[in-house]
Amino acid sequence: MLGIRKIKRKIRSVNNIKKITRAMEMVSASKLKKVQEKLNAIRPFSAKLQSIMDNILATLPPELITHKLLRSSVSSDVTVKNAAGRKIALVAIASGKGLCGGYNANLLRAVSRFMNENKGAAFKITAIGKKGMDYFQKINQDVFKSYNQIPPNIDSHMSREIIAPFMRDFEKGAIDEVWVVYTEYVNAMVYRPKVKRLVPASPSESEAGPFLPESSGNKTPKEEKPQAGMGYLFEPEPKEMLDILVPRYIEMTFYRLMLDALSSEHSARMIAMRNATDNANEVMDELTLIFNKARQSSITKELLDIVSGAEAMK
What's the confidence (pLDDT) of residue 1?
56
pLDDT digits (tens, 9 = 90+) for 145-179: 888 888 888 888 888 888 988 899 898 888 889 99
% the chain with pLDDT above 70: 85
Q: What is the pLDDT of residue 80?
A: 46
For residue 197, the cross-strand partners are 179
d(CA 268, CA 291): 34
Residue 212's pLDDT is 37
Q: What is the pLDDT of residue 305?
A: 75
Contact partners, residue 174, CB within 8 Å, separation at least 6: 87
Could you tell me which residues come within 8 angstroms of residue 208 by beta carbon, excluding any fewer than 6 positions away?
A: 78, 114, 179, 194, 195, 196, 197
In the 3-class helix/strand/coil scheme, how is 68-79 assigned residue by residue?
A: HHHCCCCCCCCC
DSSP letter assigned to residue 155: -
DSSP at 308:
H
- Confidence (pLDDT) at 150: 86
Residue spans of the chain under pLDDT 70? 1-2, 71-84, 203-232
- The pLDDT tens digits of the residues spanning 191-240 come to 899 999 988 887 665 454 433 333 334 444 444 444 444 566 777 777 78
Give me the CATH topology for the region 22-271.
Pyruvate Kinase; Chain: A, domain 1 (3.40.1380)
pTM value is 0.79
- Least Cα distance to 273 among 10, 20, 94 occurs for 20
